[in-house]
Structure 1
Amino acid sequence: MAVKALIPLLITFILGTLCLQGFNLVFTQVGKDVGAPAQASLITALPSIVLGIVCFIYGSLGDFVSLKKLVVVGITLLLAGSIFGFVANFFFTANIWTVIVARIIQTAGEQVAGSVYLVVATKYLKNSLKVVFFGIFTAGYQVSAAIGVFAAGFLTSIHWQYLFLIPVVTVIFLPLLLHNLPNKSGTGEKVDALGFAIFGLATAFLTLFFSYTAWWMLLVSLVLYVIFAVYIHKASNPFITPAFFHNKRWIMAISLILLFYLPNYSFSPVFNAIGSEIYHLGTQTVSLYIVWAFIVAAIFGTCSGWIVDKIGRKAGIICAALLQLAGLIIAAFCVMSGPVALACAGCLYYAGVGLLYSPVVDTALGTLSKDESGRGVGMNDLAMNVSGSVGIAIIGGLMSSKSMTGFSLAGFTGSAANYGNLFLVASIATIVGLVVYLICNKKIYADA
């Protein structure tokens, strides 16, 4: 029954992600069409902030409330956002805020499928199947990303309002999901609404900080996290207890996610900038090169369960880290070698990304009890989103400032030196993550 539920959940997640990728590619055109080009970035920024919050909340709720109810709420929101976005902007005068509101509702609904998928896989599958379905999940995400990148030119040529309708087909899966998902989940305790609210607000301001680099937002986020720490020590029944954060094995495992996923959002924009400035290629042409990296990531993600089953989680994580590291270092020395060489380096890096997800998530969730697995899923999603946001903020700042043009290990000068050094900076996080894992892996798996 769990497997029968996972397939439609995955399809729902893929269609929602494809919709997200579509709007990420055409948001500038949408901004022009609705007469608000200066505010166009909000079409992707605000839903992304919502995504960062709901990733954690939905995963954590899987420990307390019915997964059936969560899915009903999610698909209802997904359909409501899709229909509202299409009707309001197709049959009436298109407006920037109707687009943004519709995308926020869609995003909040779409993520339920992803979170419930991971909770079901963690709670109800035997260990040998978990890594397989974790791999299929990251493969599904990479496939939707590949389709989104590959279809960049096509999506800009159609009426963008139709993008809202992509996830509507998921309503046909609702009866199947209601039949196969468990009706009860967790302890049945009352949901800690106040705790979720404090943590959600803290996460919202943290995500906003990495989007807009306003330091007061970081300060507000830190204050709210301090309030949350005090709250969970004083509250009679918080949704997450201080003991959760005292789990040293989990702390070590989650630190791996924070380090390995730090460069995750950076490779594509740096590749795009190199294509534009050094190779003099348009974004659509660059996308035809970088799309192969996403396809490779999907292939390795699909095979990761089988690979990890053969070689084990430890060897799987080390191999994934070495692939990521090789891709970043080769890219640093191939900036002037042409788009094909850089795309090959990207394929190595994303092969590591595809292979990594299954063993590292299984490692992190393996440090928690089944009763805590939903909160573990939420924390993993939060760590991946925040870490990637931190990485792109660092790399983006260095890319725009061009502060590393004065030296180059590869012998480049000017912009080429800057871009080569950006890849080397990105590789530092992977090196540190690999060192931490080699030192701490025996302690992480001590009670496994």
Structure 2
Amino acid sequence: MTDTATTTGAQAADDVDEATNKMAIGALIPLLITFILGTLCLQGFDLVFQQVGVAVGAPEHASLITALPSIVLGIVCFIYGSLGDFVSLRKMVTVGLVTLLVGSLFGFIANYFFQANLWTVITARVLQTAGEQVAGSAYLVVATKYLRNSLKVIFFGLFTAGYQLSAAIGVFAAGLLSSLSWQFLFLIPSVTILFLPLLLKNLPAKNGNGKKVDIFGFTIFGLGTAFLTLFFSYMNWWLLLVSVVLFVGFGLYIDRAKSPFVTPAFFRNVRWIMAISLIALFYFVNYCISPFFNAIGHDVYGMSTIQVSDYVVWAFVVATAVGTSSGVIVGKIGRQHAIITAGCLMTLGFVGSALLVKSGFLVLTLMACVFYAGVGLMYSPLISTVLGTLPKSESGRGVGMNDLIMNVTGSIGIAIFGGLMGAKAMSGSSLVGATGAAASYSNLLLVGGGVLALGVVAYLVFRKKIYSDAA
């Protein structure tokens, strides 16, 4: 069947009216700005966490400044998206922005005017992360439920462009951020509280489906996610065992509970399972390209991190430009061709980097730009495709699952590839005749390209079923 930016037949027939569409646009812009500023703050602390660890007298525990908020991010991504089906978005966003403001002010005041402490930094970052993510989740729920179908891919594209813009600013400002008083980083997202009146005006006030929130179900699933994320951060097998036990318990619970937040039928949706598997494949290497290039620059070309960032920042700029234009591109060529094109670009970026690892860092940067062009194009049509397999009543849970799969598979990918990079695995020989570190990185990049190529093949195999109107 032909495919433009349409959703499933059921959703296409259930488009929103002009007043609802206008309301959605009025809410999406401030939510996007809030998400960008929160992500920029996250990027800033990711860049200077080691400096902060030294400043607070705990350099050996500096990684906790990013690790613990990342665990919180993985949990709240799912919970916030899912809550969009049950509770008022006004209440959810209000709580989120207030939490973000409290975290920002607490972090700055406690660490600037008083003795800086590791746990005040971590507490503030956890609060900021929990508060900031509500903007991203609410944005996707509003775009899915209250925006006209013809505009969805455009605003999905703007969302990924906003993320890439934040990453570009963070990478480009690496040297500057490391020279500033790091406490001021806490204040970056604090101005978002000014958007609250506008959001309260435009966000829908109704309480989702009116059902009682399944607190127990959210808790057990959230704990399972937390232990799974901890496992891939620290590779302690007991963490994985606890996670498996919790998820098995969750499965037994939703099979017997009267009103679970998600039913077993949700996971029996074959079209959704096929579509969500594409996210797992295409985003498996999502966190890997920057560490790869940083390691190649250091070990193969003798470059510093700041020198590498001066090159790699252009890849994020390309991703931002393509992400901003992705709605128009999808409108011209359709979702199916857009996903295939994006997947091929991402694969080419990895494979090209592998084959050209010793051809100069400028050439590698061009390959990074090819990869990130694919990343910028992929998000909008892929998310639209995945959410198109679900009824609108389950779109919030769909958004939550998308975020969860992206975070978990990306974490698995960086844990696996990061460990292999550190061990200089596959360093004996390579297709390009390199040895040592260059051979290791070339071979690992080829493996990553293979995963992305598998994603393209899986899409070609699954797409007829995914876009069918069968229930």
* TM-score higher than 0.5: yes
Question: Paired residue for 1:219?
Answer: 241
2:310 corresponds to 1:288: yes
* Structure 1 length-normalised TM: 0.99
2:422 corresponds to 1:400: yes
2:333 corresponds to 1:311: yes
Structure 2 distance, partners of 1:325, 1:431, is 6
Corresponding residue SS for 1:31: helix
Which stretch has the larger CA shift, 326-335 or 366-375? 326-335
2:434 corresponds to 1:412: yes
* Structure 1 residues 33-432: aligned runs within 5 Å: 33-432=55-454
Corresponding residue SS for 1:319: helix
Encode CA deviations 1:286-341: one digit per residue, 9 max, x unaligned. 00111001110111111111111111110000000000011001100121112111
Encode CA deviations 1:45-77: one digit per residue, 9 max, x unaligned. 000010000000000000000000000000000
Structure 1 distance, partners of 2:92, 2:145, is 16
Residue of structure 1 aligned with 2:37, choices 4, 10, 15: 15
Structure 2 distance, partners of 1:202, 1:154, is 38
Corresponding residue SS for 2:273: helix
Structure 2 distance, partners of 1:2, 1:102, is 31
Encode CA deviations 1:356-408: one digit per residue, 9 max, x unaligned. 00000000000000000000000000010011101101111111111201121
Corresponding residue SS for 1:222: helix
Structure 1 distance, partners of 2:262, 2:152, is 24
Structure 1 distance, partners of 2:207, 2:362, is 49
Corresponding residue SS for 1:186: coil
Structure 2 distance, partners of 1:402, 1:9, is 42
Question: Paired residue for 1:29?
Answer: 51
- Percent identity, please: 68
Structure 1 distance, partners of 2:440, 2:182, is 36
Structure 1 distance, partners of 2:149, 2:100, is 31
Structure 2 distance, partners of 1:187, 1:16, is 29
Structure 1 distance, partners of 2:140, 2:182, is 31
Structure 2 distance, partners of 1:171, 1:393, is 36
Encode CA deviations 1:406-445: one digit per residue, 9 max, x unaligned. 1211111111100101110111211111111101100000
Structure 2 distance, partners of 1:169, 1:382, is 28
Structure 2 distance, partners of 1:185, 1:418, is 53
Structure 2 distance, partners of 1:261, 1:235, is 33
Structure 2 distance, partners of 1:386, 1:442, is 27
Tell me the amino acid that sits aligned with residue 333 of structure 2: I
Runs of 5+ unmatched residues, structure 1 = none
Corresponding residue SS for 2:94: helix
Corresponding residue SS for 1:387: helix
Tell me the amino acid that sits aligned with residue 65 of structure 2: I
Structure 2 distance, partners of 1:410, 1:167, is 46
Structure 2 distance, partners of 1:24, 1:337, is 30
* Structure 2 length-normalised TM: 0.94
Encode CA deviations 1:19-65: one digit per residue, 9 max, x unaligned. 00000000000000110000000000000010000000000000000
Corresponding residue SS for 1:20: helix
- What is the total number of aligned residue pairs between the two structures? 448
Structure 1 distance, partners of 2:430, 2:440, is 8
Tell me the amino acid that sits aligned with residue 383 of structure 1: I
Structure 2 distance, partners of 1:205, 1:170, is 31
Structure 2 distance, partners of 1:302, 1:124, is 20
Tell me the amino acid that sits aligned with residue 202 of structure 1: G
Which stretch has the larger CA shift, 97-106 or 428-437? 428-437
Structure 1 distance, partners of 2:353, 2:158, is 27
- What is the CA RMSD across the aligned residues, in angstroms? 0.7
Tell me the amino acid that sits aligned with residue 351 of structure 1: A
Structure 2 distance, partners of 1:149, 1:402, is 25
Structure 1 distance, partners of 2:361, 2:30, is 37
Corresponding residue SS for 1:405: coil
